[in-house]
Structure 1
Amino acid sequence: MDATQIAATSQTPMSRQAAEYVERKGIGHPDTVCDSVMESIAVALSGAYLETAGRVLHFNVDKGLLVAGQTEPKFGGGKVLAPMRLFVGDRATDTFEGKKLPVGDIVEAAAEHWLQTHLRHVKPDVHLDIQNELRPGSAELVGIFDRDKITANDTSVGVGFAPLSETEHLVLSAEHFLNSKSFKHDFPETGEDVKVMGARYGRKLHLTVAIAFIDQFIWEEETYLHRKAAVKESLLSYLRSKLHDLDAVEVVVNALDDPSRGQDGLYLTVLGTSAESGDGGQVGRGNRVNGLISLSRPMTLEAAAGKNPVSHVGKIYNLLAHQTADRIYHSSDAIEEVYVWLCSRIGQPLDNPWSTSIQLALSAGATLGDVQHEVNDIVNQELSGISQFTKRLTQGELSVC
């Protein structure tokens, strides 16, 4: 194909469109747990391969399923009846030069460490069963890693955009605030399972927030309702301080609550996540690589979490597309919004995509000629630095959810 395609668009930037829909699944949501655990396994495997072989070997652990357990929440503290179960699937090299590699131990240790670090009330050795279903890869795909220059192991498209709209910033900030250390200090009864859905109509943002409450801190219905109201007011105060172009924000917390049903009508949990009983999780069903599900934007269906960081374009190109878009946006005041598409062809060098397309929304009076040369330079710089970029992915420096 031809070189990078750069085009101007007449599309109205997202922040000025009439409506916008954005979702964020928090760190304790089952889908985010699944993504995060599988990515932590990928980082651990990469480190083990580097230590053993001096390079990252073939693996992809992007097929994960978290099966909900069973709990019995009640005011003052309930109990866990059955543990959650995590299925870890797809492919991983388990031998090198005749030496068996402890893939199973690496998987278990990485998963347990992530859970211990991020979910305060989950004890992995008690509350989670791990079923490792990783198998060695196909000879053709494994062979990619024996080449002098690793090539793309899939034909896929990565897409990124910049800047985030105010709605996107607020949705992301809302979940980060609700799961911050300071908030948990003030509201220890709230769990890590947080989901924020934002719907903006014109200049007003409406947020529906689901947040798990931990039963051991809730002694009666009145306590729950009082603390839920306090959570709402705290979040509203925080978000109002961050409003810029929007006029107002409205928040509804735990919309499914029905106090007439007693404790069964409230969002009570034992461990702080719906994965304990109410909802399972799966890799790829949650946030995209920028931490959001921006339903009004172009969006990939690739599951980046757990993919190989040095060969799988489903991870590399999606993250690189966002990084490239951000650089392009900040390169000129003439650019109001930018979208970047990177399309790979299996077997082609990572620094030479099959197709690259850039779409720019320009400010009044600006022309494509004003920015085209610099945009093209940025794209070339990002692609030429892809080895350093994949190194950062290998070390887990970049979040994928």
Structure 2
Amino acid sequence: MKVSAVTVPSAPGLELVERKGAGHPDALADGVAEAVSRAYSTYCLEHFGAILHHNTDKTALLGGAAEVTFGAGRLTAPIQVLVNGRLTPALGGHRIPVDDLVDGTVRAFLGDALPLLDVDHDIEVRRRISTASSPGAVHGDTDQQEAGRRFWFAPRTIDDLAERRRMFANDTSAGVGYAPYSIAERLALAVERHLTSPGFLAAHPCFGTDVKLMVARNEQDISLTCCVPQIAAHTPDLDTYIAHRDLARQTVLALAHDIAPGHRITVAVNTRDDEARRELYLTATGSSIESGDEGVVGRGNRANGLISMFRPWSAEGVSGKNPVYHVGKLYNLAAQRAAEQLYVLTGQEWAIALVSQSGRDLDDPWQVLAQTSGPAEPRLVRQVVTSVMADLDALRTELLAGKLATA
């Protein structure tokens, strides 16, 4: 790997950070894609001892339709889940129950994410699964060779998995990570997690999880705009809606003062509300996916859970990619881990980019680019990145256990 490290000034006191909450359609799309990949991977490991080739990172959700009034709400058309991608359907003569696995996983995930959904009637799963290999197979004398491209999605045995011979990068791409998080980033993460936490929702069942935050900081001035849905069944009238909205604002304001003491903080909630026209963020399920909105993998939070406008970032949709060798997933997570370790070791700010080269050994990035607020130490960067890349199995284990977020 080639390592390049430079010293850059600390970030200025100007930030713009967005966070899409657990029930946001884009977050739901990421969650569905990752849940399907995880369920498929787990099935493969249990039955074959290896994860077969797959990706579900092009998954999308199309919103249904809903009717809400004070005190009640219901869906009038189902949410459509388009599971787009590739899933190996069999290993030799062992057929994998792909349709049942996908359908059950989608309904289970959305049922947990939005408990007010009737998963049997409010969700329509559409599987758009391909088994075509990416370019690379040239027909001829080598057609039957073991681990050839012809058998990428039709393996005869696990020995047809090319990565069992050599683990290599599937693409030329880049992953990025940085540490530590800034004030605005910590604020965006903490507020959303609090508002969508089981404890807060148990105490305040009137709120939904399709929370969206925009945090702007200019030195000591912090402004937050929050979209916080309310559940119609727990909101009997306009006065109650207004009281709930004020509760949300006061909750965010108190939390912000705890996280960013000494700052001047302003909070606005549901700025699109028009009380006279009764146009309010009132929902049946707590998410706009119930009514026309759409969600797409990779359109929401980055792998670290944030959308930070003045930070380095990758356009890769991490969720749903194969955890074995897809660099769009592994390199983003590995870069974040390397940046965090470098911060712990040095106390300096770090931004790390890992650049793959298609076909190169997976654990040997083509380029490693590092920015830091203090002395640039290429040798230390190399040591840390080499250590992280040598332990990619740890990332895979956390991913399959659902302990490592991808958005």
- CA distance in 1 between partners of 2:363 and 2:400 (Å): 17
Partner of 2:5: 6
| Corresponding residue SS for 2:310 | coil
> Which of 331, 335, 341 is the aligned partner of 1:321?
335
Identity %: 36
- Give TM-score, length-normalised by structure 2: 0.91
| Corresponding residue SS for 1:260 | coil
The answer on whether the counterparts of 2:52 and 2:161 sit within 8 Å (CA) in structure 1 is no
| Corresponding residue SS for 1:209 | strand
- CA distance in 2 between partners of 1:70 and 1:145 (Å): 45
Matching residue's letter, 1:241: D
Partner of 1:118: 113
- CA distance in 2 between partners of 1:56 and 1:287 (Å): 26
- CA distance in 1 between partners of 2:394 and 2:189 (Å): 27
Does 2:296 align with 1:301? no
| Corresponding residue SS for 1:62 | coil
Does 2:99 align with 1:91? no
The answer on whether the counterparts of 2:3 and 2:381 sit within 8 Å (CA) in structure 1 is no
Matching residue's letter, 2:322: N
1:2-401 alignment to 2 at 5 Å? 3-9=2-8, 11=9, 13-14=10-11, 17-138=12-133, 140=149, 142=153, 145=162, 147-244=164-261, 247-262=263-278, 265-333=279-347, 335=348, 337-362=349-374, 367-368=375-376, 371-401=377-407
The answer on whether the counterparts of 2:4 and 2:378 sit within 8 Å (CA) in structure 1 is no
Deviation of the 1:397 alpha carbon: 2.5
May I ask how many residue pairs the two structures share in their alignment? 385
- CA distance in 2 between partners of 1:106 and 1:120 (Å): 20
- CA distance in 1 between partners of 2:173 and 2:382 (Å): 22
The answer on whether the counterparts of 2:176 and 2:312 sit within 8 Å (CA) in structure 1 is yes
- CA distance in 2 between partners of 1:149 and 1:394 (Å): 22
The answer on whether the counterparts of 1:158 and 1:317 sit within 8 Å (CA) in structure 2 is yes
Distance 1:182 1:147, change over 3 A: closer
| Corresponding residue SS for 2:248 | helix
Deviation of the 1:394 alpha carbon: 3.4
Which stretch of the first structure deviates more once superposed, 86-95 or 348-357?
Answer: 348-357
Deviation of the 1:144 alpha carbon: 5.6
Deviation of the 1:227 alpha carbon: 1.3
Deviation of the 1:146 alpha carbon: 5.2
> Deviations 1:318-368 (Å, cap 9, x if unpaired)?
0110010000011013x2x11111111111111111111111111xxxx43
Cα root mean square deviation, aligned: 1.6
- CA distance in 1 between partners of 2:85 and 2:301 (Å): 21
Deviation of the 1:57 alpha carbon: 0.8
Deviation of the 1:98 alpha carbon: 2.0
| Corresponding residue SS for 1:261 | coil
The answer on whether the counterparts of 1:57 and 1:145 sit within 8 Å (CA) in structure 2 is no
Deviation of the 1:145 alpha carbon: 3.6
Matching residue's letter, 2:351: Y
Deviation of the 1:105 alpha carbon: 1.0
| Corresponding residue SS for 2:268 | strand
Matching residue's letter, 1:7: V
Which stretch of the first structure deviates more once superposed, 47-56 or 371-380?
Answer: 371-380
Deviation of the 1:39 alpha carbon: 0.3
- CA distance in 2 between partners of 1:215 and 1:331 (Å): 50
- CA distance in 2 between partners of 1:127 and 1:381 (Å): 46
- CA distance in 2 between partners of 1:87 and 1:270 (Å): 22
